[in-house]
Structures are given as structure tokens and as C-alpha cells.
Amino acid sequence: MSDSTQDERIKDISPLRQALVRPELGSIAGAIIVFLFFGFLAFDSGMFSPRGVLNWSTVSAQFMIIAVGACLLMIAGEFDLSVGSMIGFAGMMIAIFSVTLQWPVWTSICVTFVLCIALGALNGYIVIRTGLPSFIVTLAFLFILRGFTIFFPQLIERKTIIGGVSDAADGDWLASLFGGKVGEPVFVWLADLGLIDVFERGSRAGQPVVDGIPALILWAIGLVIFGHFVLTRTRFGNWIFASGGDAQAARYAGVPVNRVKILMFMFSAFCACVFATCQVMEFGSAGADRGLLKEFEAIIAVVIGGALLTGGYGSVIGAALGALIFGVVQQGLFFAGVESSLFRVFLGVLLLAAVILNTYIRRIITGEK
Amino acid sequence: MDPLFEMQDVEKHFGTVIALGGVNFSVSEGECHCLLGDNGAGKSTLIKTMSGVHAPTSGRLLMRGQEVRFEDPRQAISQGIATVYQDLAMIPLMSVSRNFFMGNEPIKRRFGFNLFDHEQADKVTMDEMRKMGINLRGPHQAVGTLSGGERQTVAIARAVYFGAKVLILDEPTSALGVRQTANVLATVDRVRKNGIAVVFITHNVRHALAVGDRFTVLNRGKTLGTANKGEITPEELQDLMAGGQELVELESSLGGTV
């Protein structure tokens, strides 16, 4: 082998093939297709009016928040199936603390965050100490947390929905960070210019139909930027890839794999808690069935985003686009007047296609046959 | 020459199993000391004891004559003892550059954050790979696309770059073809000439004789003795590894092909 000449056996690879190896590619293509599709199918239905945009971007943002946590955890080589139950549990705890126990809402939110992150750490600790697959350990927590979420409100209030959080949260500084809206004056101004419709009758007559960006969307964007930054630009990000790629090799190279994994379980729980808090503040109540199936939706968004189920490879931007596809299709079918049960059929097909594509890409990267 | 790294009467027990029952071993700067042993002889345990994965049950580890104790692999690495494992050297899905700096990422400070300095990492990776004679398409090429020999070479280059004084190679040639083996052995030779102490673990006598300065045979958890280059024949080494008699009989029946 000579010093600088190109090895004659290294074939030039096409830019397409090079781009294909980027994990986001599939989801970028998917997002474009989905927008084109609904652009034709549902353009007149109001899907792309300010109100329609707000509708599907809110739904997408919900998926994004939990997808970021699931994405980093999956790249670190683990799953968290307890996300959905954690959402229900966190919401219920906030309601019990603030309504039943009459704590200030900001205290309730803080205590709930601490509790959920601690449960995430416990998930991670059990996985690390026992060496069991995280699939099984978090499946156990899926049932444990859901059970408590139904049990506590029945024990205390004899019902499974606790309302009245809105009244308690009125004027609370921390609650507005999750349930508030941003940019109202801008939207009023846009309405004055005639760019946004105003309500024509009812109690809000004269106000713009879209009067601000929900805090939920800002949380989603913030978490995506944070996750992407940590994963690609920091030393810790390299450790996340290494821990999921081959935990033993990473350990031998001095990467604190256990710490990385436990922290990612905690982050996943944090994301679930953000989701739950936003939801409780929006609805003003907590229900025992909240967050059902969210763990799978998060994982599907991450897989559509190009991450490998086996860990070590993926992208937060991809997962965010996966969540966007998810939200746009779910709401788009509604706008287009398609039977909503077909959404599940679509989801299954999309998941299968994404996994097959990812497996193919993995072969390209690793040169496996 | 005084040994750089030495093990004295090292024993390692796992419960009731004695994996190492009194190992004496040393390696000096610029020397390639081959450790030979058949499967189950205790090679893996010995490597893990040297590299800080296991603490020895009894016995002493000496670095430049000073006794050292390693709680974990990081401590061994910080003392200059680096280990390249046969199949766990690299992570195939990650780029060469990310692999090269795994656990030792270069940092630059921007806006009060400690960021992974990708430019620096990419530059160093390309330089080091060129020195080792590996042509990369770019620093972002995934390790999975490299051959087994190239992966071993990248891992060795990484260990040397991060200041290894003692380089432990765990069967670096066992899964390789002829040409790749030759490349790895040439790398070992180059590294040794730079004054690094190399511990070369193998069960292939011919590979050992090609680069070794001294040879120690491990059998059933004990070192059977050490021989210098030129003092021992391949047949004697082979017999020692197999524990004597049976192989002699086997060899005669196979016509000397083992």
C-alpha cells in the first residue's frame, strides 16, 4: 500500500448512495411526499389555513417531544416502553398534588418532574444491574405505572379523572411555561392585516382564530435542537453512539456506558413528563387513560426517522421529521375526510417500509452482505 | 534492560475456579513479548488482569518497578497500558474518526459549552491513518467498511496516539487472511521500533515467531517458562502450548501438519 494514492479497490460511490447513508434521508423524503399528497388531497379542506396548520403542528409537536427522548435512548441501545404510562402517571400526580392536596402548581410540577426522572433512573438502574433487556424491564413499568395511575385517583377521589387544574394553575408562573401561548400581539397584528381570520360571532368575536403559538410547540422545537446538539456536537453524544453501537467495546475504550444509559432513561422520562405537563395544563384535567400507546408512537416516529432498533445509529432531526409525518398524516386524513381507522393501516405499512429501508442502509454502512 | 511492566505471582480466582495460578511475566520498552496459550489456558483472564478489567486475587503488578493497582480500565489506560481486543476494538456503525477518539474526544470551548472538536478529530484521524498505510475515503467512513486487518491497525494507531507505553494485542491476527496478517505484523514491528512494549497474545506459533523477541507459554493458568528469540523451535513452542505428550502423538499421526 502506498502513501497517498487511492486504493484501486475502493470504488467511487455516487452522491446518492452517500446521501442514503445519512439517517435523516428517508424521513426528509417521507415528509415531502406527505406534504405533496395532502397538498393535492386536502388543500381546500382548511388543512393549510392558519388554524389547520396549528392543528397538525400541535399534534406533531406532541409526538416530537416524546420522540426526542425515545430517539436518544434508542441510539444508546435501549427502549422505554413505559413512556405512555409515565405520561398518564405524571399528569395524574400533578393533578393530585395541585387539586387534591392543594399544593401550589409550580411545586406540584417540580415534584412530579423529580419523581418521574427518578423512576426513569430506576428503569435504567434495573436494566444495567440485571442485564435484562430494557424491553422487558420497561414493559413491567408500563403496567406498574398504569396501575398506580388508575389506583390513586380511585382511592383518593373515587374517580379516574381529576379536573380543576386550570383554576389552580391560574396565574402560576411555571404552569404558563407549559400551558401558555407565545406571540399573541403578533397574531393580533396579523389578523388586523387580514392575514388571519377573526372569529365573527360568539364570545371571542373579533379575536384572531389563531392567537398564539402554544408552549408545547416551543418545547418540541427546543428539545429537538437540544437533542440534536448533544448528539452530534458534544463528547457525550459520541458516548451515546458508542454505548448503543457496542457497549463492551465502548467500556474498554473508557466510555462510562452505564452512566450514559441511565441518563438516557432519565431523559426519556423527562420528555414524557414535559408532554404530560403540557397536556394537563391544556385540558385542565388529568385522566387515568392518558398517554395510552404513546410509547409505540414514539418508537415508530424514531424508526421512521432512520434510527436502528438495535442502537448505535440514528438522528434526532430524523425522529422529529418522523413525528411530523406522523402528525400530518393523522390530522390530514381527518381533514381529507378519510375514515380515521385507516390511519393505523397506514402507520403499520409506513413502519414496515421504514424498517426495511433502515436494514438496507445498515448493510451499506457496515458493508455486510 | 529493566522491565517496563511486570507481573509477579499473579493469581486470579473466580469463585472456586483458579483461572490464573501464579503468572510471572514482564515486558520491556521496544520489546515484543509473545504470550502463547491454547484455548482455556487463561489468556483472556490474563489480558483482563493486565488491562484493569479484573483485579488480581493475589500477586503484584509493577510499572517501572512501582507497584500499581487498577480499579477499572480507565486507570490502566492512564498509566499507559492500552489493550486492543480481537473483535471489540471498534464500533462498525460509527465513523473512523468517531471511533478513533471514542472515550478521548477532543474538546473545544464555544459559547461556554464543551464541544466535540470534529475538525481536529478528522484531521488527526486522516494523518494517523496515512501513517499506518490505510487509505480512507474520508474521516466519516464507517468502520464497518474496513477489513478486519485495517480495524486492528486503526485500533493500534489509536492506542499509540493516546500515549500507550504498553500495548496489549489480543489475538490480532487470528481471524485474518494471509495478506492482512502480514500488514498487522508489520504494524506491530513499526510500533515496537518506536519504543513501545508490545504484549502479543496468540495461539499461532508462526505469527509469534515472526515478530516476537521473547516467548512465554501459558498453560492451565500457569506460565511454563520464557524463552528468547532463537532459543526455541516452533515445534517446542507448539508442544509446550498443548501441554506436551498428546500433540506429539497427534502430530505424528497427522504427518507433522499441525
The set of residues, in sequence order, having a beta carbon less than 8 Å from that of B147 and lying 6+ positions away, is B180
Percent of chain A whose predicted confidence (pLDDT) is above 70? 93
Residue A20 is predicted with a pLDDT of 64
Considering only residues B128 and A241, tell me which one the structure prediction assigns the higher pLDDT.
A241
Euclidean distance between the first and the last CA atom of chain A, given in angstroms as a whole number: 25
pLDDT digits (tens, 9 = 90+) for A308-322: 988 999 999 999 999
Residue extents of the structural domains in chain B: 5-86+161-254, 91-145
How far is it, in rounded angstroms, from Cα A18 to Cα A5? 21
3-state secondary structure of A332: helix
Contact with chain B for residue A339, Cβ under 8 A = no
Would you call B94 and A10 a contact, using CB atoms and an 8 Å cutoff? no
Nearest CA in chain A to B52: A252
Q: Which residues of B touch A239 (CB under 8 A)?
A: 103
Higher-confidence residue: B60 or A199? B60
Cell of B11: 493469581
B120 pLDDT band, cuts 50/70/90, is very high
What integer pLDDT is reported at residue A19 of this predicted model?
A: 63
Interface test with B, best of A365, A368, A369 (most B CBs within 10 A): A365
Residue A248 near chain B (CB below 8 Å): yes
Instruction: Please report the pLDDT score of residue A123 as a whole number.
Output: 96
* d(C-alpha A240, C-alpha A261), whole Å: 8
DSSP A90-149: HHHHHHIIIIIS---HHHHHHHHHHHHHHHHHHHHHHHHHH---HHHHHHHHHHHHHHHH
State the pLDDT at residue A290: 93
State chain B's mean pLDDT as an integer.
85
Q: Is A51 in CB contact (< 8 Å) with chain B?
A: no
Instruction: Give the pLDDT confidence score for residue A80 in this predicted structure.
Output: 96
Quote the CA–CA distance of B253 and B256 in Å, as a whole number: 8
For residue range A181-228, list pLDDT tens digits in order: 888 888 888 888 877 788 877 777 777 888 889 999 999 999 999 999
Q: Would you state the pLDDT for residue A4?
A: 41
First-to-last alpha carbon distance for chain B, in angstroms, is: 36
Residue type, B102: M
Question: Is the Cβ of A264 closer than 8 Å to some Cβ of chain B?
Answer: no
A266 vs A40 pLDDT, higher one: A266
pLDDT of residue A1: 38
Asked if CATH classification 3.40.50.300 holds for the domain at B5-86+161-254, the reply, yes or no, is yes
Residue B21's SS3 state is: strand
pLDDT in tens, A294-351: 999 999 999 999 899 889 999 999 999 999 998 999 898 888 888 878 888 888 898 8
Question: Mean pLDDT across the stretch A89-100?
Answer: 95
Tell me what pLDDT residue A13 has.
Answer: 60
Share of chain B above pLDDT 70, in %: 93
CB contact under 8 A, B74 and A253: no
Q: Which amino acid makes up residue A190?
A: L
Is residue B77 helix, strand or coil? helix
State the pLDDT confidence band at A5, using cuts at 50, 70 and 90: very low
Interface contact A248-B88, CB threshold 8 A = yes
pLDDT class of A99 with cuts at 50, 70, 90: very high
Predicted pLDDT of residue B218 = 87
pLDDT at residue A11 is higher than 90: no
Query: Mean pLDDT, to the nearest integer, of B62-86?
Result: 86
Q: Mean pLDDT over all residues of chain A?
A: 89
CATH top-level class for A57-175+235-362? mainly alpha
Beta B197-202 vs B32-37: how paired, if at all? Answer: parallel
pLDDT over 90 percentage in chain B: 19
pLDDT of the residue at A108 = 96
For residue B258, pLDDT beyond 60: no
Domain ranges of chain A: 57-175+235-362
To the nearest 10 degrees (0 to 180), the angle between helices A316-335 and A294-304 is 110
Nearest to A235 among B89, B114, B144 (CB): B114
Average pLDDT over residues B236-249: 67
Q: What is the pLDDT of residue A252?
A: 82
Minimum mean pLDDT range among B95-99, B174-178, B187-191: B174-178
Residue, of A10 and B39, whose pLDDT is higher: B39
Say whether A234 and B115 touch across the interface (CB within 8 A).
yes
- Min Cα distance A266 → chain B (Å) is 21
Q: Which of A26-30, A136-140, B226-230, B231-235 has the highest mean pLDDT?
A: A136-140
What one-letter code names the amino acid at A138?
A: T
Q: Is the pLDDT of residue A22 over 80?
A: no
B78 → chain A, closest CA residue: A254
